[in-house]
Structures are given as structure tokens and as C-alpha cells.
């Protein structure tokens, strides 16, 4: 978890839309078009999510992906680890043993136990992992739902329905009169 990349952001956004799509599988291409992000980039994320048991592939003519579990059973940490792998936040280089005063032979006290700086970073990583583990995909979805106007859900449903019925990416007007991609 050295650095959370844009892959995590893309993955989380896509999983939110899958959570809201019910039993309608969405392809990575559909999800990329819906959000205006790279098809090829997103296509690299979904196999990782599938391998982690977060999504499942649905075959057939209109195949795509569905959530493999309920959104409340998918933690943000599980998503991060699936996409990024479990990398340490900090990679200690044991600089403490290289002090010029030691002349290449550091005393035991200087290198005994965990480096004090590394210890702080380990605590920070634990706090971050605990926070990510305590938040679910459903929690994020609830926050988005509170923020979005009431018509947004039906606008999204309309886009998905139109997309799945074969109308590709043509502008239309939402229930609120705003132009949306359908």
C-alpha cells in the first residue's frame, strides 16, 4: 500500500455502479464509458477483482460483471488489496546502521529491534488498514446516495438500460432536463 493509485479510485467507482445495477451485469467497457475513463486501463482491474472474489464474470451475449457478494460484505481494504496487492506503506532502508560515526560497524544498540522511524510507519499503516477495513462498499454508496439529487438514480438506471439495449453513448435529456450520455 505504498501509494494508492488511480486504479483504486477507478475500481471503487466501478464497484459502486455494479452495486447499483442489481442483477444486470455490466462490462468493463460499459463502466469505462459511463465514467469517461480508459477501457484498457479498467480491463486490467477487473481480473484482479474477480480473482479476489469481489466480482464475478457473467457470460453470454450481454455478459459482464456482477458483485460476487453484497456491498456491505466488501470492505474498502479488500478492494485496495485486490487491486494494489498488499504492499507496505514504508520500506525501511535501515539507514540507522550507516551513520558515519560508526565507521561501517554499527553498535548493537543502534540496530537492535525495529527502527524507530519504521515503527511509526508501521503504526500509521495499521491505522490506515483498520480504517479501510471498517468501511464497506455499501457505506460509500450510502454517502453518495445522500449527496446525489433524487433523480440521479433513475438517470443512471436509464443510461444502463439504454446501454444494455444497444443505444451506445448518444446524448439525451435526464428527468431534470440536464443533458446526459445515454
Q: Degrees (nearest 5) of the Cα angle 159, 165, 169?
A: 45
Sequence length of the chain is 182
For residues 73 and 178, the model is more confident at: 73
- pLDDT above 50: residue 173: no
Instruction: State pTM to two decimals.
Output: 0.82
Give the C-alpha distances (Å, rounded to integers) separating 105 from 7, 89, 97, 98, 112.
43, 29, 8, 8, 13
Residue in this structure with the C-alpha cell 438517470, named with its chain if needed: 155
Quickly count: other Cβ atoms within 10 Å of residue 121's Cβ.
Answer: 16
pLDDT tens-digit map of 31-81: 999 999 999 989 999 999 999 999 999 877 677 999 999 999 999 999 999
Taking the C-alpha atoms of residue 164 and residue 26, their distance in angstroms, rounded to an integer, is: 8
Q: What domains appear along the chain, each with residue ranges and CATH number?
A: 6-89+135-147 (1.10.10.10)
Rounded to the nearest angstrom, the gap between the alpha carbon of residue 9 and the centroid of all alpha carbons in its chain is 5
Task: Say if residues 55 and 93 touch (Cβ distance below 8 Å).
Answer: no
Smallest CA-to-CA distance from 37 within 61, 10, 11, 17 is with 10
- pLDDT for residue 65: 94
- pLDDT above 90: residue 12: yes
- pLDDT for residue 149: 94
- pLDDT above 90: residue 131: yes
Task: Say if residues 76 and 140 touch (Cβ distance below 8 Å).
Answer: yes
- pLDDT for residue 2: 55
- pLDDT above 60: residue 169: no
Quickly count: other Cβ atoms within 10 Å of residue 19's Cβ.
Answer: 20
Quickly count: other Cβ atoms within 10 Å of residue 137's Cβ.
Answer: 24
Amino acid at each position: 500500500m505504498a501509494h494508492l493509485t488511480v486504479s483504486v479510485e477507478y475500481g471503487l467507482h466501478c464497484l459502486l455502479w455494479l452495486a447499483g445495477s442489481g442483477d444486470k451485469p455490466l462490462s468493463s467497457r460499459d463502466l469505462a464509458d459511463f465514467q469517461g475513463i480508459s477501457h484498457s486501463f479498467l480491463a486490467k482491474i477487473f481480473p484482479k477483482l474477480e480473482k479476489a472474489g469481489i466480482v464475478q464474470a457473467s457470460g453470454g451475449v450481454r455478459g459482464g460483471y456482477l458483485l460476487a457478494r453484497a456491498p456491505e460484505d466488501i470492505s474498502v481494504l479488500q478492494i485496495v488489496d485486490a487491486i494494489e496487492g498488499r504492499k507496505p506503506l514504508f520500506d525501511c532502508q535501515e539507514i540507522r546502521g550507516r551513520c558515519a560515526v560508526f565507521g561501517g560497524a554499527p553498535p548493537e544498540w543502534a540496530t537492535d529491534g525495529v527502527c524507530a522511524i519504521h515503527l511509526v510507519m508501521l503504526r500509521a499503516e495499521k491505522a490506515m488498514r483498520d480504517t479501510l477495513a471498517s468501511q464497506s462498499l455499501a457505506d460509500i454508496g450510502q454517502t453518495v446516495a445522500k449527496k446525489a439529487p433524487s433523480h440521479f438514480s433513475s438517470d443512471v438506471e436509464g443510461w444502463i438500460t439504454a446501454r444494455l439495449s444497444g443505444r451506445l453513448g448518444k446524448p439525451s435529456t435526464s428527468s431534470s432536463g440536464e443533458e446526459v450520455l445515454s
